[in-house]
Amino acid sequence: MNTVSAFIPVSSRRAGAPHRQRGAVLVVGLIMLAVMSLLVISMIRTSILELRIGGANQVALETFANAEVAITGVVTANSGRWAPRFTTLPLTSPARAVLTPPTLVGGTATVTIEQIACGYVADGSSLCAAGVANCVPKASFNVTAVATSVLGGTQRVTQGVEVNIPPNSCI
């Protein structure tokens, strides 16, 4: 049994002919590299923007919390002192408003108290005259805190305080 095997060359070029490369794979590879580089640069820019947004949000939350802590501290420190014109009393008066906020983290705050109304109120909201049934004398104040962060943010928070006062104390 004689078998004949045939050898078929993989390429059809001649053995002595010069080999010429066309570079299609190189061009495709360079294009893909450029596209991937642009994608990475875009992702880095997006990440930087998200970090800035997160940092600004952190500063805003920190300053808001500091303003709230300052207001709460001043309202608590003045418990029992709320009265008409108590912010204008002499500095030596023990009934004068305390405006020093507690120690804050990462910033400072200043607090101001402004009396905005003094009079008789019925049912929690409507004004009435003295001597009318269900009329209660009240004084209303705005407590405002302006907090500043060491990172550069500023937040202003205002809270209203309404207190019952003795009759005929609004003059």
Q: What is the pLDDT of residue 14?
A: 57
36 belongs to a structural domain: no
170 belongs to a structural domain: no
The gap from C-alpha 35 to its chain's centroid, in whole angstroms, comes to 37
Pair of tokens at residue 65: 């919390």
In total, how many domains does the chain have?
1
8 belongs to a structural domain: no
Average pLDDT for runs of 10 along the chain of length 171 = 58 59 86 96 96 91 92 87 80 77 86 87 72 81 92 92 84 68
26 belongs to a structural domain: no
Q: What is the pLDDT of residue 10?
A: 57
113 belongs to a structural domain: yes
Q: Report the alpha-carbon angle 75-76-79, nearest 5.
A: 90
Q: What is the pLDDT of residue 125?
A: 67
What domain range is 112 assigned to?
Answer: 43-164
